[in-house]
Chains A and B, each alone.
Chain A
Amino acid sequence: MNGESSGYSALTPAQFGALVAALRQAGYAVAGPRVADGEFVFGDVSSSAGLAAGYADEQKPGRYLLSKSAKSAALFGVVNGQHSWKKYLFSQQETLWRARGSSGGFSVEQEPCRPAKSAFLGVRPCDIAAIRVQDAVFTGGACADTYYKTRRENALIIAANCTRASGNCFCDSMGSGPRARAGFDLAFTEVAENGAHYFVFEAATAAGKQLLSKCGAPAASAAQTRKADALIESARAAMTKKLDAKNIKALLYRNYENPRWEQTAKRCLACANCTMVCPTCFCSTMEDQTSLDGAQASRARRADSCFTLDFSWIHGGGSVRPAASSRYRQWMTHKLATWHDQFGTSGCVGCGRCITWCPVGIDITEEAAAIAEAEAD
């Protein structure tokens, strides 16, 4: 889905609304940021009026606060929340096949996967990086995952560059943001300040260009693109968290034995929140169900977490990782080190969700620094 980027267009809020309408008219199910029951989520968007206008988020380790300001007109003022786009591409629960039993045996039928054409509206650069990480996981090996692949091929991506950083963002360290460089059909930067409100758009694919042409938007002025660029740079400058991505793999490979794992395990609840909110975590388990009369059976795949004891259970040996320290070490080392050897990329994109949604506020950037420090001692 990469293409040469054309010039920039500037869309008014009304033209942005026309783009959403054009998407729906072209047959896309549009998903985007919304506020539902006081939570910032991704959901169906029927018009731009359904987006999270005026909302902003405040994030700290173990803390998330969503607030609405009457003064702000921004539709994409929230950096991110507990949802990631994997909920659309890698279903948390899905049936893989169904079987029917009979006296002579059983028959098996693969569950069809026919996803609707969908458009993801307002995908943050870190989340685009996360989708590309999951592309490598699910479609980069010898056996591609049919279900992920089919959904992915039916998804149009509209990126939203970041003009704010949350307190837990560190995409700059991971090289994934705050500007989206590739992996999208359309990308925009929203400018909403001092009474001005417009979207500076670029199209990267033929599909993106065609959609943009339907909005009747003029080319962006040099001042408008300069303003958009300046806001992205201010988001970069506002990031307080850092991670030494260059050296982290070697550091963790050297530090399977480090006192920090035990210390962190004293705080870690092994609750699996970090793996559920992580946009790249892909572990799953299989669940077989049989009807009460035994006539039908099915297999479903369900999201799983390396933090559960059951995850590594083997017959005769129990759990391979009984200690919480081993499970935290597995998660963090996988994310930042072994992932490179498995998939040629880091498993972390710097979105900060694991820090925010950890009930006790364990901070992966702080942990990486502490391990380096403990090693130096």
Chain B
Amino acid sequence: MQDPMTPRRFRIARTLRETKDIFTWELRAEDGGEFAFSPGQYNMVYIYGIGEVPVSISGDAADRRKLLHTTRAVGAVTEAMRALKKGDMAGVRGPFGSVWPLDKLEGKDIVLVAGGVGLPPLRPAVYHILRNRAKYGRCTLLCGARTPQDIAFAQELERWRGRLDFDVHVTVDSAGPDWRGNVGVVTTLVSRAVFTPEKTAALVCGPEIMMRFAAAELANRGVREDSMYITLERNMKCGIGLCGHCQLGPVFICKDGPVFNYGMIKQWFLKREI
């Protein structure tokens, strides 16, 4: 068995430029094997000679032949990732971490809230819900980006928006005169979503401040805090709870998270400098 500290080699089968700084990789295992994961999980992605970073998995868990990663180029490793091309190699350790509890949420209305580069970790959940659409109640995706040019997966969002059984609302922080959509932070969209609060679960991913406000808005609408799930990010080095870096109170974000029940994690998440 592969040691969790040693990377497995993957090759880039396709790269997609989502926005000016967000890109997607489609990877295939060099050993020809499959890659199994559950929505919400992440990998530690290694670039030869550069380093390693945690990146959420953005593809469809039902398709084990492909591994998809979508991220924003913001540092040395992710900049190097963006520079790689089809046929280049990357190392992968994982999948690590907790999952969106989609099985447990069957029968509920689902509200997904994504801010910035928060949509990639939610996309596997969307795929799962759409594939098992009859098992869920009303489903809504609320999506925020800085500008219209920063909207990732724009075509896919359009396709989802065209479905009668899936509501999609998109907003941007600022836009030029040619933008005909919503302007404002993503939390303002919560009031637009149609759901029955007592049977609603929310999956939220984005910057911490956005998640705080989203949780407050959802709570205002009557959604229970223990029916909300958020994903958290901290400095991670090992991915398996051994290096100590990603602690938040009693939890390790890398193995107890990144997906947390908001009612449970709130007391730690809302404290300063924990």
Binding site for B on A (CB under 8 A): 96-97, 99, 101, 104-108, 110, 137-138, 141-143, 145-146, 256, 282-286, 288, 290, 294, 297, 299, 301, 304, 306, 311-317, 320-323, 326, 330, 334, 337-338, 341-342
B88 contacts partner chain A, Cβ-Cβ < 8 Å: yes
Contact between chains at A334 and B237 (CB < 8 Å): no
For residue B271, which residues in chain A have a CB less than 8 angstroms away from its CB?
A: 256
B212 contacts partner chain A, Cβ-Cβ < 8 Å: no
For residue A285, which residues in chain B have a CB less than 8 angstroms away from its CB?
A: 237, 243, 245
For residue B244, which residues in chain A have a CB less than 8 angstroms away from its CB?
A: 282-284, 304, 306
For residue B272, which residues in chain A have a CB less than 8 angstroms away from its CB?
A: 326
Identify which of A256, A304, A322, A337 contacts B274 (C-beta below 8 A).
Answer: A256
Q: With contacts A105-B9, A341-B250 known, what are 7 further pairs, Cβ within 8 A?
A: A96-B5, A104-B89, A110-B5, A284-B237, A321-B273, A323-B273, A330-B274
Q: Chain B 202-245, CB within 8 Å of chain A: the 1/0 string?
A: 00000010000000000000000000000001110110111111
For residue B273, which residues in chain A have a CB less than 8 angstroms away from its CB?
A: 320-323, 326
Contact between chains at A284 and B243 (CB < 8 Å): yes
Closest CB of chain A to B206's CB: distance in Å? 12
List the 10 shortest-distance A-B pairs measured between CB atoms, nearest first.
A105-B89, A283-B244, A326-B273, A341-B250, A143-B240, A338-B250, A290-B49, A106-B48, A110-B6, A286-B237
Contact between chains at B234 and A320 (CB < 8 Å): yes
B252 contacts partner chain A, Cβ-Cβ < 8 Å: yes
B91 contacts partner chain A, Cβ-Cβ < 8 Å: yes
State whether A283 and B88 are in contact (beta carbons under 8 Å apart), knowing that A290-B49, A338-B250, A342-B250 are contacts in the complex. no
State whether A141 and B274 are in contact (beta carbons under 8 Å apart), knowing that A97-B5, A110-B3, A283-B244 are contacts in the complex. no
For residue A337, which residues in chain B have a CB less than 8 angstroms away from its CB?
A: 250
Distance in angstroms between the alpha carbons of A353 and B160 in the assembled complex = 60
Q: List 21 A-B contacts (CB under 8 A).
A: A96-B6, A105-B9, A105-B88, A110-B3, A137-B242, A142-B240, A143-B4, A282-B242, A283-B245, A288-B49, A297-B48, A297-B49, A313-B235, A314-B233, A315-B74, A317-B208, A320-B234, A320-B235, A320-B273, A338-B247, A338-B250
Most chain A CB within a 10 A radius of its CB, from B9, B240, B272, B273: B273
For residue A294, which residues in chain B have a CB less than 8 angstroms away from its CB?
A: 49
For residue A283, which residues in chain B have a CB less than 8 angstroms away from its CB?
A: 243-245
Identify which of A106, A286, A315, A342 contacts B238 (C-beta below 8 A).
Answer: A286
Most chain B CB within a 10 A radius of its CB, from A105, A110, A284: A105
State whether A288 and B52 are in contact (beta carbons under 8 Å apart), knowing that A108-B7, A256-B274, A320-B273 are contacts in the complex. yes
Closest CB of chain A to B233's CB: distance in Å? 6
Most chain B CB within a 10 A radius of its CB, from A138, A286, A321: A286
Contact between chains at A304 and B243 (CB < 8 Å): yes
State whether A330 and B242 are in contact (beta carbons under 8 Å apart), knowing that A106-B89, A313-B235 are contacts in the complex. no
B249 contacts partner chain A, Cβ-Cβ < 8 Å: yes
B255 contacts partner chain A, Cβ-Cβ < 8 Å: yes
Contact between chains at B6 and A97 (CB < 8 Å): yes
State whether A143 and B241 are in contact (beta carbons under 8 Å apart), knowing that A108-B7, A297-B49, A316-B74 are contacts in the complex. yes
Contact between chains at B49 and A304 (CB < 8 Å): no
B30 contacts partner chain A, Cβ-Cβ < 8 Å: yes
State whether A105 and B30 are in contact (beta carbons under 8 Å apart), knowing that A146-B5, A282-B242, A284-B243 are contacts in the complex. yes
Residue ID in chain A nearest B4 by CB atoms:
A143
Contact between chains at A338 and B237 (CB < 8 Å): no
Contact between chains at B48 and A101 (CB < 8 Å): yes
State whether A304 and B6 are in contact (beta carbons under 8 Å apart), knowing that A256-B271, A312-B235 are contacts in the complex. no
For residue B249, which residues in chain A have a CB less than 8 angstroms away from its CB?
A: 338
Most chain A CB within a 10 A radius of its CB, from B233, B234, B242: B242
B162 contacts partner chain A, Cβ-Cβ < 8 Å: no
Chain B interface residue count, CB cutoff 8 Å, equals 39
For residue B274, which residues in chain A have a CB less than 8 angstroms away from its CB?
A: 256, 320-321, 326, 330
For residue A311, which residues in chain B have a CB less than 8 angstroms away from its CB?
A: 235, 245
Residue ID in chain B nearest A137 by CB atoms:
B242
Contact between chains at B255 and A142 (CB < 8 Å): yes
For residue B252, which residues in chain A have a CB less than 8 angstroms away from its CB?
A: 342
For residue B7, which residues in chain A have a CB less than 8 angstroms away from its CB?
A: 97, 108
For residue B238, which residues in chain A have a CB less than 8 angstroms away from its CB?
A: 284, 286
Distance in angstroms between the alpha carbons of A112 and B250 in the assembled complex = 33
Contact between chains at A141 and B241 (CB < 8 Å): yes
Contact between chains at A138 and B5 (CB < 8 Å): no
State whether A105 and B11 are in contact (beta carbons under 8 Å apart), knowing that A99-B48, A138-B242 are contacts in the complex. yes
Distance in angstroms between the alpha carbons of A138 and B5 in the assembled complex = 13
State whether A141 and B233 are in contact (beta carbons under 8 Å apart), knowing that A110-B3, A286-B243, A304-B245 are contacts in the complex. no
Interface residues of B in 37-56 (CB under 8 A from A): 48-52
Closest CB of chain B to A145's CB: distance in Å? 6
For residue A314, which residues in chain B have a CB less than 8 angstroms away from its CB?
A: 233-235
For residue B9, which residues in chain A have a CB less than 8 angstroms away from its CB?
A: 105-108
B176 contacts partner chain A, Cβ-Cβ < 8 Å: no
Distance in angstroms between the alpha carbons of A321 and B249 in the assembled complex = 12
Closest CB of chain A to B190's CB: distance in Å? 24
For residue A145, which residues in chain B have a CB less than 8 angstroms away from its CB?
A: 242
Closest CB of chain A to B131's CB: distance in Å? 28
Contact between chains at A312 and B234 (CB < 8 Å): yes
Interface residues of B in 82-98 (CB under 8 A from A): 88-89, 91
Distance in angstroms between the alpha carbons of A256 and B270 in the assembled complex = 12
Residue ID in chain B nearest A291 by CB atoms:
B49
For residue A96, which residues in chain B have a CB less than 8 angstroms away from its CB?
A: 5-6
Distance in angstroms between the alpha carbons of A341 and B247 in the assembled complex = 12
B75 contacts partner chain A, Cβ-Cβ < 8 Å: yes
Q: Chain B 10-39, CB within 8 Å of chain A: the 1/0 string?
A: 010000000000000000001000000000
For residue B11, which residues in chain A have a CB less than 8 angstroms away from its CB?
A: 105
For residue A101, which residues in chain B have a CB less than 8 angstroms away from its CB?
A: 48-49
Distance in angstroms between the alpha carbons of A286 and B246 in the assembled complex = 14
